[in-house]
Amino acid sequence: MNALLNDLTLIATAADPAVLDAVQEQDAERTTAAADAVVVKAEAGDIGAPFESVALATLRSLKAQDLAGWVRLRERLKRAGVGVTELDRQLRHGDGAPPDEDESVADRLIALARSQCGFMHDAQREPYAVFEASGARQVHGVLSSGFSDYLSHAYYTQHDRAPTEQSLKVALATLRGQAQFEGEACEVFTRIAKTESGYWLDLCNDAWQCVQVTATGWAVVAGAGAPLFTRSASMRPLPVPERGGTLDALWPLVNVPAADRLMVLAWMLECLRSDTPHVVLELVGEQGSAKSSTQRALRRLIDPNQADLRAAPKSVEDVWIAARNSHMVSLENLSHLHPQYQDALCVLATGGGYSARTLYTNAEETILELRKPIVLNGISVIVTAQDLLDRCLHLDLPTIQQRELAGAMEARFEAAQPALLGALLDLFVKVLAMLPSVQIPPEQRPRMADFAALGEAVFRVHGEPAGAFLARYNAMREDGVRRTIDASPVGAALAAYLADVPGGFNGTLSELLDRLDRYRPHGEAWPRTAKGLGDALRRLAPALRLIGFECKSLPKTGGVIRWHILSRPQPAEPCPASPASPAGPESATPKPAGSGPVAGHARHPGHGPESQARGKVVPLPQVAAVADDGGEVF
């Protein structure tokens, strides 16, 4: 009994606050004395004393009990020659240190990601994570917001708490290295792909479905049988395509002249091919010609985006960044394309690279290597550079006399979109089957030879004779060349001179500069020297050649270079014979799928099948250097 009473007395004494304070004070004094002894050893020359296990434990206790005393002691250790930076690290992470919360969370994040994801990299060593989520195989860039959100959510689901920002950053950096150095090399696509098993179109939906297209049919596929597709935050889903539809519902929703509809279909199908250069679609028309709504509808059948139409970027780099994050480059309300932008679009359409300094570095560079379809619209003619013009498909849109409510048009498009996509894929299948039989002689192939072959297949699928597409395409190219010449002060002056002097010119550039002076347009930039005139002629030479003039410089003779600008005979283009058809004006116009009596825009003047016969040259306005319609100068 007495022993029990003694124990109770000791417990009561220990619980007394005064006693507890005394005990804690004695413990602090012992810790301070032990720490001071460590400092004395260091000051005596033993600078390794603070790094011993017992010393580290003592210093940790001092730091926890008396921060001010620790700071003073740390300064003494520093003066004694101890590496206090390494000492601080050992106090945090060395033997006996408590676990670092951020470090342990990062380790758990890495372990979680490795257990649920596969990691790989593409040819540019861009890291990707592949994992199953929401019943679908998903592919995200390791450093993308999509993978970061997935990993954070998975961690929260497992641990009922969110990871810290620092731990997530450490984990992602580690996983990036794993993907780059341990992961397999793979090919990752955006929206479209071409593999040995056919062409692919990513629907970008929550089920991560895509469509496989071959010459025998198309099918919706998901999971392991599909290529690896990734997507940006701005990309939007396509509907699951429906079978049995036609393109009848498309033409009332877009303001495309009947004569140009097959050309538009050829352009749309070219957008679905990733292994060929792309043609730039240029939509031009006066205010009220539904340029933007037509461009938006065409894009939403190929590559819907959060912003289907975008204003002119502020720099060439912005063009490439926008192209990196979507499949199609879609710019609206342009009034003028500056040369550097035309060059950038030219490279982007046929495939090329853009290099810029990597952010926060001085010596490293980031290279974007892309090939993307492009569509532009404006009131004035936009494309004037010869290189880009060779890659351009120009359409003039007629003015709409009667308008529909935007909400009604949107509802009609959304209702028709699944069937329209299915009909477009049906056409793609037929064109792929027809394509091997299309043979264009090498001497007749235009610069965009792949597009020409595809266009020929589209025309033949619609019952047009061989050569019909090429005749129409060449007429449109010649039309564009004349616009280019008219847009150039030297070109306009030279065209006027050659009209007065059919025999052409043979002489020096100085002589030509004098002769062209009387034809010089007023208020336009004009070359001041013979060298400037020579540079302009070299740029115009391909355009002049296409309309029948040979423009070339001869070898230097006697220190003088002479130029010949002569008319050259044009071989007569054979006109393909059309199959027998009922008499009437409609027989002269190619009919795309869905161009029956009920299709088309009856309220569009000149928009019926009898308008704009193939090959007819329509006078076009000259390019304006300054916007007069509120459009952006690009």
In contact, 620 and 367? CB cutoff 8 Å: no
pLDDT at res. 163: 92
pLDDT at res. 549: 83
Distance CA 409, CA 397 (A): 18
In contact, 382 and 480? CB cutoff 8 Å: no
Backbone dihedral angles phi then psi of residue 373, each to the nearest 5 degrees: -75, 150
Q: Where are the beta strands (DSSP E) in 58-153?
A: 117-121, 127-133, 136-141
pLDDT at res. 592: 55
Q: Are strands 632-633 and 334-336 parallel, antiparallel or unpaired?
A: parallel
The domain limits of the chain are 2-93, 101-186, 251-402+413-475+620-633, 477-567
Dig out the tokens for 214 from the structure: 């071959």
Q: What is the dihedral of CA 234, 634, 292, 211, to 10 degrees?
A: -40
Which residues are CB-contacts of 184 (< 8 A; sequence separation ≥ 6)?
A: 120, 121
Pick the CATH number of 477-567 from 1.10.760, 1.20.120, 1.10.286, 1.10.10: 1.10.10
Dig out the tokens for 522 from the structure: 């007023």
Distance CA 590, CA 461 (A): 11
Closest alpha carbon to 426 in 189, 241, 271, 287: 241
pLDDT at res. 18: 66
Pick the CATH number of 251-402+413-475+620-633 from 3.40.366.10, 1.20.58.740, 3.40.50.300, 1.10.10.60: 3.40.50.300
pLDDT at res. 378: 92
Q: Are strands 280-284 and 392-396 parallel, antiparallel or unpaired?
A: parallel
The segments of the chain whose pLDDT lies below 70 read 1-23, 93-103, 357, 359-363, 568-634
pLDDT at res. 205: 96
